[in-house]
Amino acid sequence: MVHADDAEALTEQLAERFRQLQAQHRLTAVELEARTLHSRKNVGWIRTGGRRLPAHHVLQAYDEEFGTGTELADLGQRIRTARTLVRMRTMQARADAGTQTPTRDTDEEVRQTDRRQVIELGALSALALSTHQRMNSAVEDATLDELEADADEIARAYGSAPHAALLPEVGGRWQQVRDILDGPISPQARPRVVTLGGQFSYFLGRLAFNAGDMRSSRRFTRLADMYATETREPVLLMSVATLWSSIAYHTGRYQEAAAALHRVHNVRDPYMDARVAAYEARTFAKLGDHDAARQALDRMERTASTHTPIPGETPVGPAAVAMFRSGVAITLGDRTMATEWAPLAVEGYRRGGGDFTVEESQHADVTMALAHVAGRHRATEPEEAARIAQVVLAARPTHTVITRLRQCAEAFHPGDRELPAVAAFLDGWRALPALPVGTSVQ
């Protein structure tokens, strides 16, 4: 049985044991953060034996890392129980101090009722004070300003940074926000914390999507959707909708892709309006509604502008406008439109800018290759198409780019396949890994 007097001794026991394990495994706080994706602040809280105790799942992660079964998590639970007993004893003492002994037997029953009410109110008021103090402490420790700055930096780097390098950065911040949400948060701080939770969940969903891990992508996107629904922040709402649409689109579920975008048809934000319109255009084209696709392309171009990336989807600027116009043109079978816009997209991405992403610049290149093999055979340039596609193939493309490369490979006429450049590209294409389950060749 845990006693109230055990709280301090158990806290020191946990601190001593944790320091021992750290030394034994030669792991610093920074290394533990990288391995468990939990903030290094948790290590400091444990080692110093302070009042702040990491959440149960954090201690479980350290148990797993150190191979200690449930030792640390169990110690943490015993500390929480002991601290609860301390608080209850304090509440009882405060309540007792505020009561008086009944002096008249005839009023005994009433006075006993009054005393119980005083005890209950005293206990609840002490709990309210404790909750208020913990709320204030949580906001101070969370360093929301720093987390928001981290989200901004990730947004700016997302388009060009290797996704393998981004994953631990995004995952670590996501875990930190999750830890904050596990505790009490003041009403003033909650909107900021929930928005951060939505942004980092969105980034993880997008990273999983780019890796072709649709199961994980759906899980993170579903969580981001919950946060977005609570905050109603327009960029987050629209970014989550476009990610849902992309998941459906790239698994061949075009009606679902359109429905995901329709959910935000009444939401407007200059940063996201063009992106939503671009995704509507590609989806309408796949559904065979050519007029709606062209109207959506025009709406995309009207609302596109140059933005510095912020947490959420990448903005649609001049290069992306050309990329989407040429890509949709291929689906529509409009070679004139494709050959007009594809070179503008390639050149636009070479110049860089706020709408640059490695993935979409590769889409522009593959669309240029497709433009070279689209239409009548005598008008095609198969060797140039193969040369462009080969460069993209060598750059470790994402699964969405791979689907376009497959489309390019299938577009070559039988007589083209003997050409050296085409044969080399096709050999590389055949060596590609299998597409994720459910992925559609676009």
Q: Give tens-digit pLDDT for 15-41.
A: 999 999 999 999 999 899 888 888 888
pTM for this prediction: 0.69
- Check residue 90 and give its pLDDT: 65
CB neighbours of residue 388 within 10 Å: 24
Q: Say if residue 114's pLDDT is above 60.
A: no
- Asked if residue 415 has pLDDT above 90, the reply is no
Q: Which of 69, 54, 270 is nearest to 178 (CA)?
A: 54
Task: Determine contact, residues 400/327, Cβ cutoff 8 Å.
Answer: no
Spell out the residues 6+ positions from residue 304 whose beta carbon is closer than 8 angstroms to its own.
274, 316, 317, 318, 320, 321
Residue 81 confidence (pLDDT):
79
Using one digit for the tens of pLDDT, what is the confidence trace for 45-64? 899 887 788 888 889 889 99
DSSP H stretches of helix in 98-213: 108-142, 144-157, 163-182, 190-210
Condensed to tens digits (0 to 9), the pLDDT of residues 136-147 reads 555 444 468 889
Provide the token pair at 180.
Answer: 């904050």
- The mean pLDDT of the chain is 85
